[in-house]
Structure 1
């Protein structure tokens, strides 16, 4: 689905990011339609809710890590290969990586690994060219939960 507003174009593509072939098609489609990529957003996640760490099965692990970790990793990696000058790569994580919650061990850990990749990519790309020279920006984004009581005291 293509969006055009304010003189810019955006393309939203739904893709199975657990499959490298589908990710490649996603990037190829975007390049064909838009000719370049200014912003790549990796925002995907499935969750096994309120499952104690000692009860996590291999099937649970494979399901979450295939999408939340592998899929996000391959999307961010592909974004780094295809983002143009002044491009942005944004990985949207989860508040669970800083807000440790019972029953969220598998989900939180699956969202943490891509955060590390984002930090490493920023350093590695900077080794080849200064990020400022090519204008590329790679940013992790994770939302933090703020207590309503804390906000009301401000």
Structure 2
């Protein structure tokens, strides 16, 4: 079974803060993923997004930023609650507003991947997770969040199974 965390950048003026509407929007985005990836407005991580979050949590050991911007790239944002008429099979959704997207982009640009890796290397290597795999996720997220922040977009996140 495959499970994905799907990210979609979108102008705030184009979205509704409604779970049913956002689920339909994200479903359509998921169906158009190839074109949206090519346009730089979508990204996804298969199964390992929690490990990517753990990599970024290593920033806690590197800095004393009380805002914890390392939380933003993967789990940042607020849950969009199901409405009474929502389909129970709709995915869990989160919405990261433009200021959070900018903070995530800044964090991803300024944090040292090598320093993060040094903190987690022994644990990750023992689990079979490679540096190259996480470096690719990091670079992809840097690019995705950088473009979203430059455009002033929000990021909607959905979990697809």
TM-score normalised by structure 1 residue count: 0.25
Name the structure with the higher helix share. 2
CA radius of gyration, larger in: 1
Of the two structures, which has the highest relative contact order with CA contacts closer than 8 Å and spacing of 6 or more? 2
